[in-house]
Chains A and B, each alone.
Chain A
């Protein structure tokens, strides 16, 4: 069972594949894609379990993340 409290939008076109968000994500729900964007960079994908802690947005040098908090957690 996974509890998800929020979600993010990721601007994959501007991602430069630095992976700082992967390490910063506290619930570890980001993993890098296999495919690449138009600039040749892999980008993060979101898995269930986001807590809307905003660490990804805080560390991202390319301003790729918007963070949303759910009104009530979702269990899946």
Chain B
């Protein structure tokens, strides 16, 4: 078959990606989200306008792996930091990349205030329901029943309360122009999530307001699962708590 003429239809690395070598676990969903983000920036021709503000988590590795300007900031504070960046460079495509621990736990005030103010930036929240980088503790987004290092018997609503649906809270604010929730556990969701991220960047850059995309990602390590079981667990539990789709805007 090797003597048949062929053309490449998909590259291994994303545009703007300096290296594919990262320290994230087998079966992690974050690297797929990274790829979608970089593809969107390249396709919208924003690479010379993009400034990323990145929180604290396994995903922080992107600041070494991607050839765009990055500021790595304090846990939870990215939307506030991004606000300062955007006010100084109003024509830049300013975005934040954070995890559910960063946003739903530490940084809930920041994201809600930034959304309410309608800052023209995009926040991407990678939601796997754990503080993965610190070994897998519960976050404010962990779903009821989810086993974590601080809820070994499963998150119990009586003892631990309920998860915070950040995308829904953001969508309720007038300053939020586009809000969507996607996932990267299968090719179909991956394609839809890329469209959400693209729309979010377009809307923010066009000045429509604050845009937010929550991306459900797999963390088989944090979920105590074999890697191959990550996608089904995401669909069976996370998608029930966090329905996919566009929550606000077209």
Contact = CB atoms under 8 A, between A and B. Distances in A.
Contacts, number: 105
Contact of B227 (A19, A63, A64): A19
A57 B228 contact: no
A75 B114 CA distance: 57
B13 interface: yes
B26 A65 contact: no
A11 B209 CA distance: 41
Interface residues of A, number: 39
A64 B58 CA distance: 20
Contacts of B11: 66
A61 B12 contact: no
B125 interface: no
A28 to B, nearest CB: 14
Nearest to A63: B20
A26 B10 CA distance: 16
Nearest to B31: A61
A45 B76 CA distance: 42
A70 B227 contact: no
Interface string A47-76: 010001111011111111111111110101
B186 interface: yes
B228 A20 contact: yes
Contacts of A41: 26
Contacts of B187: 24, 26, 53-55, 58-59
Contact of A66 (B10, B184, B191): B10
Interface in A8-38: 9, 11, 14, 16-20, 22-24, 26
Interface string B167-206: 0000000000000000010110011000000000000000
Interface residues of B, number: 36
A69 B21 contact: no
B86 to A, nearest CB: 30
B228 A58 contact: no
Interface in B204-250: 220, 227-228, 230-231
Contacts of B12: 9, 11, 57, 63-66
B101 interface: no
B186 A59 contact: yes
B7 A62 contact: no
B120 interface: no
A51 to B, nearest CB: 11
Interface in B21-79: 21-22, 24-32, 35
B9 A59 contact: no
Nearest to B33: A61
